[in-house]
Amino acid sequence: MNTQETINYNRIAEAIEYIRDHFKDQPNLDEVAEKVHLSPFHFQRLFSEWAGTSPKKFLQYISLEHAKRLLKENQATISETAYETGLSGTSRLHDLFVTIEGMTPAEYKNGGKNLAVNYSFAESPFGNMIVASTQKGVCFMAFAEDDEAGFRALNEKFPNAHFSRKLDLLQQNALFIFQNDWNKLSEIKLHLKGTDFQLKVWEALLKIPMGQLSTYGSIAHQIAKPNASRAVGTAIGSNPVAFLIPCHRVIQSSGMPGGYMWGSTRKTAIIGWEGAQTNH
């Protein structure tokens, strides 16, 4: 690392520490940039390069993790949590959760209580599937040997939700992916529940083009966590939406397929099928 890189690293490390220590004050871009003696524009670009996310998004992640601890461990009320996190009100906390966590604070606190989930079963080229959705988007999709096993897996994800066996438009759009152009993936709405690290990993998976492969190490570098290959593997293994979030496109650096929640044989078959689709 040359001298300039060292200076840049130290500045970003100082900025990260400042945000962690002062997140309750919700410092803006100008404030943090001033602390490390950079212009807001230069600081924004430098921080994004080194941390893999914007200063604003990093502040949101830190705030959210604190809010989650208060809600779960301290059993704080939503208004108390908003205040203790430095947010101006419960609406800000609500927006923060929906933007990053994919759930409202109340839904997170209650394990999906009062969350309405529709689900249905369908056939795919790789076996039977269960697909489930909330009003916000697809929240679960998995290969299932039978309907009972599929529903049991869904229920484990949202133990307190209200379930209705019903096929809706969100589910149909998701299932059309087996027939239509993968470029339309952005039209499919997802409603994901996960940690900030898991969400970053799943977002990286969505960027792997159909017919191409990546490695655990490459994903770790992509999210600016080059030494976190094992943690990346764990996050990939907890992917709640099979196929749409293409964890099957991640293989070992040796070229071996590696593990897959729904079986290595199925993983190999999906990779082969996608390769054939892109070569048409």
- The yes-or-no verdict on residue 129 having pLDDT over 90 is yes
The rounded distance, in Å, linking the Cα atoms of 117 and 154 is: 10
Domain-ending residue, one of 54, 80, 109: 109
The rounded distance, in Å, linking the Cα atoms of 212 and 275 is: 8
Instruction: Give 184's contacts (C-beta < 8 A, 6+ positions apart).
Output: 177
- The yes-or-no verdict on residue 260 having pLDDT over 60 is yes
Q: How confident is the model at residue 136 (pLDDT cuts 50, 70, 90)?
A: confident
CATH number where 126 lies:
3.30.160.70
The answer to whether 274 and 210 are in contact (CB under 8 A) is: yes
- The yes-or-no verdict on residue 226 having pLDDT over 80 is yes
Same-domain status, 31 and 77: yes
Token readout for 195 is 């940690």
For 133, the enclosing helix (H) or strand (E) is: strand 127-133
Of the candidate ranges 53-62, 108-117, 137-146, 194-203, the one whose mean pLDDT is the lowest: 108-117
Could you list the residue range(s) of the whole structural domain that residue 228 is in?
Answer: 196-278
CATH number where 13 lies:
1.10.10.60
- Give the relative orientation of helices 229-237 and 196-206 as an angle to the nearest 10 degrees: 80
CATH number where 213 lies:
1.10.10.10
Domain-ending residue, one of 81, 109, 137: 109
pLDDT of residue 99: 53
Same-domain status, 121 and 104: no
Q: Tell me the mean pLDDT in the region 67-77.
A: 65
Instruction: Give 19's contacts (C-beta < 8 A, 6+ positions apart).
Output: 27, 32, 55, 58, 59, 62
For the chain, how many structural domains are there in total?
3
**What CA–CA distances, in Å, run from 76 to 70, 105, 159?**
6, 11, 21
The answer to whether 250 and 227 are in contact (CB under 8 A) is: no
Same-domain status, 79 and 157: no
Q: Rounded mean pLDDT of the chain?
A: 80
Same-domain status, 74 and 26: yes
Length of the chain: 280
Q: How confident is the model at residue 120 (pLDDT cuts 50, 70, 90)?
A: very high
- The yes-or-no verdict on residue 126 having pLDDT over 60 is yes
- Give the relative orientation of helices 196-206 and 55-72 as an angle to the nearest 10 degrees: 130
Same-domain status, 8 and 24: yes
Domain-ending residue, one of 72, 88, 109: 109
Same-domain status, 121 and 53: no
Q: Which residues are catalytic?
A: 247
Same-domain status, 43 and 123: no
- The yes-or-no verdict on residue 277 having pLDDT over 80 is no
Token readout for 202 is 């799943």
How many other CB atoms are there within 10 angstroms of residue 89's CB atom? 10
Same-domain status, 183 and 122: yes
The rounded distance, in Å, linking the Cα atoms of 119 and 239 is: 18
Identify residue 136 by its one-letter amino acid code: K
Q: Tell me the mean pLDDT in the region 116-124.
A: 93
The answer to whether 103 and 157 are in contact (CB under 8 A) is: no
Read off the DSSP letter of residue 182.
G
The answer to whether 110 and 117 are in contact (CB under 8 A) is: no
Of the candidate ranges 37-51, 65-79, 184-198, the one whose mean pLDDT is the lowest: 65-79
The rounded distance, in Å, linking the Cα atoms of 120 and 142 is: 11
pTM beyond 0.85: the answer is no
